[in-house]
Chain A
Amino acid sequence: MNRSLGKTLLTGYGWLFFLFLYAPVALIVIYSFNANPINVMTWKGFTWDWYVGLFGGATTVSESSLYVDSTDQLLDALLTSLKVAFSATVIATVMGTCAALAMARYRFRFKGFYQALLFVPMVMPDIVLGIALLIFFVGAGISLGSTSIVIGHCTFLTSYVFIVVSARLAGMNPLVEAASADLGANEWVTFRRITLPLILPGVIGGALLSFIISMDDLVITYFISGVDSTTLPVYILSMIRRGIKPEINAIATLMLLFSIAIAAAGIYFKSRNTAQ
């Protein structure tokens, strides 16, 4: 095989690879503007209707072809999702950061074992975790609702924060903490002035990751959400059960935009720090 042929093939493979990754996503975005209300995948012209309809605006399509029963429900689900994601992120970020600090800075018995325990929720099948949490909440008499979802999300989000912050701590020169103590700072001052600022990009990165994962989680949330506490992914699932309609594409596109915004924020914080 000659060199240029190999190169052409490789380039072709590269294109195919990205096509494979992004074509479905691109289709969703494109068809969220499709004016065909019956057959979602047949292009019939451009429209903003599905976006307008999502927010309860007047549209040119007939009522019956819209199937967000009420915009209120959709917004409710979105609000629940945001609330849950925010609370779970705050709690998981604090707990995960503390765990990472303990693992990186102190020596104690069974450390390796505890470390493994912190990884387990990430690799545990969602369905197992979901059922386990459900049984736990029922057994413990905790009623299913926003609180149970927050607790459930914290169990695995803590692992993600732990890993991101641990990586950051591993790249940090532990001598700067010694230097701080040497210059007369006690442990609290050292944490506030030296350790926290240095691991902050990791903490923020872990928090953003947690937020996205929490917003996005379906399987675990499905088990532990109550009747009046439906999150957005669970709500979308219930919509799809009644057939795929164009609005799904619009919702998916909005969620995509939201995720990209958060990821961009994450990259921004990361690059801002490496610039130092």
Chain B
Amino acid sequence: MSIAFSHNPASDYLRVRNAVRHFNTPEGGVVKALDGINLNIGQSEFITLLGPSGCGKTTLLKIIAGFERLDSGKITLDSQTLLELSAHRRPVNTVFQSYALFPHMSVGDNVGYGLEVAGVKKPERVQRIGEALEMVGLAGIEKRLPSQLSGGQQQRVALARAIVNRPKVLLLDEPLSALDRHLRMKMQIELKNLQTELGICFLFVTHDQEEALTMSDRIVVLNGGKVEQLGTPTEIYHRPASRFVADFIGESNVFEGKVVRFDDFGADVQCGELLIRTEDRNLITGSAVEVMLRPEQFTLLDSSTSAAGQQVLTATLEQAVFVGSDHQLVCRLASGQQISALVRGHCHHLQVGQPLQLAYSSADVHTIPAVF
């Protein structure tokens, strides 16, 4: 996929080349946990690995950390080959999903463990432990045991324990998944700030797409051990490279069709009875494509608004759900296909079964090459 190699010059600090890791299952099958992964990551990027359960996220982190071997492929960090180094020699640190704090050591000893093992002298160690704890907002709890902390505090200690060593890359495996929603959102912001402050590369695993979209500089979407797409949150959201990405990130309306006409300004795609206009200029007549529209790209037309310069779909309303400031509308097209639209403002006058005019701009229509 060409977009996976989209290059910006600073982004070959951490390079993964053709990483392959297959597992033999007890049932006699083979799981392709990693199936030819390529990544180029910059020195101070916040990268999120996003994908469904079992797509290989944890496996990739373990391989970078040195807890899992690679069948074939290459990983370099700062021009240094990683794979020959055993885990304890790699300049990377991990924040584990379950935190994995040392239960028999105080918070201070936990945080200072890496420094102590590295032979840092006590006065400097104490100072750096204090600084790291302060960074995560837990100054002054050095004496406590991990069991005397809340889940969120343990998570921060795990974070402090990792960053105090000033790793070149920080690996985070779903570190926020055990936290409640409120704390999670708070920690998302803090993590992002911390990363900016430290200026080191964060490789963050999540299967929460919202989390990925809010925090990342770039997102790696993984599926079945392959990179589906690597791009900025906006790219991933608005220009998904595949149907999988379109479906996985956010809600989307996807129509399968064929290009029936193209000109200098875009193309017309025939999707069943529907003719959809797009401004994608790289399409040629006869090619099969999928077109995608996000629910929020529709506007609801009524008698007072005109559709000047916009395309219009007619659909029957099946359900309207109030979601805070917006209404989530589920409608059905004449072709039988269901579409969903997110419209602003109050829609109390809407009734189930009533026909609606949904307008969209052809500039918003994203096309995905159909794969057979």
Report Cα–Cα, A193/B114, bound state, in Å.
12
User: Which A residues are in CB contact (< 8 Å) with B101?
Assistant: 176, 179
Bitwise, A181-222 to B at CB < 8 A (1) or not (0) is: 111111001000110011000000000000000000000000
B98 lies within 8 A of A183 (CB):
no
Report Cα–Cα, A32/B82, bound state, in Å.
72
Closest to A273 in B: B104
B165 lies within 8 A of A184 (CB):
yes
Bitwise, B82-103 to A at CB < 8 A (1) or not (0) is: 0000111100111010101111
Partner of A182 from B94, B103, B147 at Cβ < 8 Å? B94
A-B contact count (CB 8 A): 64
Report Cα–Cα, A197/B145, bound state, in Å.
15
Report Cα–Cα, A193/B112, bound state, in Å.
13
From residue 130 to 181 of chain B, which have CB atoms closer than 8 A to chain A? 145, 147, 161-162, 165
Confirm or deny: A5 has a beta carbon within 8 angstroms of a beta carbon on chain B: no
Given A176-B102, A184-B165, A276:B96 Cβ within 8 A: no
Confirm or deny: A175 has a beta carbon within 8 angstroms of a beta carbon on chain B: yes
Bitwise, B43-83 to A at CB < 8 A (1) or not (0) is: 00000000000000000000001110000000000000000
Given A173-B98, A276-B147, A183:B104 Cβ within 8 A: no
From residue 167 to 181 of chain A, which have CB atoms closer than 8 A to chain B? 173, 175-176, 178-181
A184 lies within 8 A of B117 (CB):
yes
Closest to B113 in A: A183
Confirm or deny: B118 has a beta carbon within 8 angstroms of a beta carbon on chain A: yes
User: Which B residues are in CB contact (< 8 Å) with A185?
Assistant: 88, 113, 117
User: Which A residues are in CB contact (< 8 Å) with B114?
Assistant: 183-184
B103 lies within 8 A of A198 (CB):
yes
User: Which B residues are in CB contact (< 8 Å) with A197?
Assistant: 104
Report Cα–Cα, A178/B65, bound state, in Å.
10
Interface class of chain A by DSSP? helix
B104 lies within 8 A of A186 (CB):
no
User: Which A residues are in CB contact (< 8 Å) with B86?
Assistant: 181
Given A194-B102, A198-B103, A179:B118 Cβ within 8 A: no
Report Cα–Cα, A193/B116, bound state, in Å.
11
Question: How far, in Å, is B122 (CB) from chain A's closest CB?
Answer: 16
Partner of A189 from B96, B100, B104, B117 at Cβ < 8 Å? B117
Task: Say which size band chain B's interface belongs to.
Answer: 20 to 34
Question: How far, in Å, is A274 (CB) from chain B's closest CB?
Answer: 10
Closest to A194 in B: B102
Report Cα–Cα, A108/B67, bound state, in Å.
18
Report Cα–Cα, A107/B132, bound state, in Å.
37
Closest to A187 in B: B88
Report Cα–Cα, A175/B158, bound state, in Å.
13
A181 lies within 8 A of B88 (CB):
yes
Question: How far, in Å, is A98 (CB) from chain B's closest CB?
Answer: 21
A175 lies within 8 A of B96 (CB):
yes
Report Cα–Cα, A181/B93, bound state, in Å.
10
Report Cα–Cα, A249/B286, bound state, in Å.
103
User: Which A residues are in CB contact (< 8 Å) with B103?
Assistant: 176, 198, 276
A183 lies within 8 A of B165 (CB):
yes
From residue 206 to 259 of chain B, which have CB atoms closer than 8 A to chain A? none
A198 lies within 8 A of B104 (CB):
yes
B100 lies within 8 A of A183 (CB):
no
Bitwise, B19-55 to A at CB < 8 A (1) or not (0) is: 0000000000000000000000000000000000000
A183 lies within 8 A of B161 (CB):
yes
Report Cα–Cα, A176/B101, bound state, in Å.
6
User: Which A residues are in CB contact (< 8 Å) with B94?
Assistant: 178-179, 182
Give chain B's interface residues, CB within 8 Å of chain A. 65-67, 86-89, 92-94, 96, 98, 100-104, 113-114, 117-118, 145, 147, 161-162, 165
7 contacts between A and B (CB under 8 A): A175-B98, A176-B100, A179-B101, A179-B102, A181-B87, A182-B94, A198-B104
